[in-house]
Amino acid sequence: MRKPVLFSLLRCAAALAGLVSLVESGQAQLKTPIIGEPTQTTGRLSSGQNQQAAGQNAQTTGQNAKALRPPAIQPGFRLLTLQEGRAIAQGIAWADDEEGLAPDCSHLVHKLYEQAGYPYPYASSLDLYRGTGPFLRVRYAHPGDLVVWRGHVGIVVNPKEHSFFSTTSSGTRIGNYRSAYWRGRGDPHFFRYLTKSPREASGGTTEAANRQPHH
């Protein structure tokens, strides 16, 4: 009688041990991290991840510093002063030919600058937009600056009125670079001429490129 009872107890103990093993195995599977999902272990980054994050932060800081740093002007050059720019704008005079035609916008601007005494190698409006020739991109427009879109260029006449002179398919005219049409062309770039003239003035410094004109 004792043997069957003892045998039954042994079988129950074995079954219980197997059940415990199965439960522990299931818990271990639940703790296994899934690829692509965050783990809840320590919340710490590895040394390699720390180095990568530090490198990205340093790169971002360097890019921000570069964006804030004013562009350098080559020795021997200076920006046109406000008075010189106004002289360009006030001296604009162009008579369309008998058929009401005028050169395309980039050739017109090139010719007007040449007439004002500030020559430069001809460049298309797209090249000017990207930045080329003796021009420095500026934040605030002054009279006489170039106002450039991808595919069009003109000369700023009065930045307070947002007016500029250029040519279109219907001839030369004064336009407003803040109008709905030109705003639809995207944000324009403003460029100021760099001259070798020895004249020294506050308007010819790099810092002056980011100052608004006084009216």
Q: What is the pLDDT of residues 83-96, one digit of tens each?
A: 999 999 999 877 66
The residue with tokens 């106004």 is 86
Q: How many residues does the chain have?
A: 215
Specify the higher pLDDT residue, 37 or 162: 162
Cβ atoms 74, 134 nearer than 8 A: no
Predicted structure pTM score? 0.62
Coil, helix or strand for 92? coil
Domain ranges of the chain: 78-210
Q: Which residues of 22-39 are buried (b: 16+ CB within 10 A; e: fewer)?
A: eeeeeeeeeeeeeeeeee
Does the domain formed by 78-210 have CATH 3.90.1720.10? yes
CA dist 185 and 177 (Å) reads 10
pLDDT in tens, 89-129: 999 877 665 555 568 999 999 999 999 999 999 999 999 99
What are the backbone dihedrals phi and psi of residue 45, each rounded to the nearest 5 degrees, phi first? -90, 150
Q: Is the pLDDT of residue 31 over 70?
A: no
| Strand-strand pairing, 189-195 and 146-149 | antiparallel
Identify the band that residue 176 occupies on the pLDDT scale cut at 50, 70 and 90. Answer: very high
In Å, how far from its chain's centre is CA 45?
32
